[in-house]
Structure 1
Amino acid sequence: MKMKDLLLFLSYVLWGSADALHTDIHVVGCSYIHGGVMFGLDREELWYADFEKQMDVYPQPPFVQPISFGDGAYKIAVANLYGCRQFLQLSETAMKDFPPRRDAPSGVMIYTRNEVELRAKNTLVCHVTGFYPAPVKVSWTKNGQITTGGSSINNPYPNKNGTFTQIARLQFIPQQGDVYSCTVEHLGLTKPLIKIYNVDTPETPEKHKPSLGPAVFCGLGVIIGVLCAAGGTFFILKANKCI
């Protein structure tokens, strides 16, 4: 993807008080193939348009009361995408001489959302940041085999330095010995980045029985100290002819 093939609009709104400062963000991005419209608050994605399923999505956890953007939010997103592509077409001539910018991801991490318990549902997270342009492609494997069930990825989220962050997730059930990997592909990479996660048996602290070893050493130390003190007293008194 060349630089001219991607157009991204960012709208930041800052509001605050004496105690807090919040950042509200509205992202509209497009190419001739892909597109994304997203609303966020304080680096949390609140809403985005899924143009493949033709619906709006609230990605917050179920225990968080979502902020509604209204029934017409998806239709507005479609209009934003159309306008973005129109502007992209007009800007092609002006940007044709610009060299493409390609920043490879500066950080890729894989971790679990919750503490691992064997045979208990969990989520693997592949966190990719520091890349430009967006998006990245993330794929998953389990024991060397490609797996797609229960996988998802959020829209690219802009960083303050002009790069992007994306988070991919995979629902899984940990089983002892399983090996998972997330593979990241991007225009700035000469080869894919791969991060591995091994499912190990959770360690259970052993209950140790009381040991006599330290007590014996302490007892011997006290006895030797007393004997040494007694011997020293004897020789001091003898030197003074007290005995």
Structure 2
Amino acid sequence: MFCSEPVLGGEESKSDHVASDGINVYQSYGPSGQFTHEFDGDEEFYVDLEKKETVWRLPMFSTFASFDPQGALRNLAITKQNLNILIKLSNYTAATNVEPTVTVYPTKTRPLQHHNLLVCSVNGFYPGHIEVRWFRNGQEEEAGVVSTGLIRNGDWTFQTLVMLETVPRSGEVYTCQVEHPSLTSPLLELHGVPGSSSIHVEVAELSEL
């Protein structure tokens, strides 16, 4: 819950002052909640939920203002109740990271030194935050790369196809690199193509932003 109210500094003032009154935060895991009050971007006070007392960050306001911490506790209790109702209405299930399945293949079986489309199929992953890149002999390929974007599977997971148009030559190594938050260690998979070229797929952890 959030409310902003302008506090005028006088008739000749060219800019208003803004007080952010009663910022209530509650989440279903981690810290049980937060209640703060800000003035012009500075935290004026917050409520210590364990000690059930108001802590002033800007002492000047405490000389002419007061805040009952019980009000913050009541607001957080209401916020918690509303969150639980929304969870039930949305048929909520706890979100868990699901690792992707990665397959690399050429669209056509052709001799070397002919145009071909290499496909990196990434399927069954959650959440949808994912990065897929193509490399040729260790150098990233940006030209000729086409992606379908995220496709929903209908069961909360996603899939995507990232394709590279190229002319494979003998001795070249193509790498499809996939980064995703579900992965805790690199996963390597090899896929051979006709001749001495090979396609290499690398799956690695994607750091949270």
Which TM-score band applies after superposition, normalised by the shorter structure?
A: 0.3 to 0.5
The structure richer in strand per residue is 2
Task: Report which of the two structures shows the higher radius of gyration computed on alpha carbons.
Answer: 1
Task: Give the TM-score normalised by the residue count of structure 2.
Answer: 0.46
The structure richer in helix per residue is 1
Task: Give the TM-score normalised by the residue count of structure 1.
Answer: 0.40
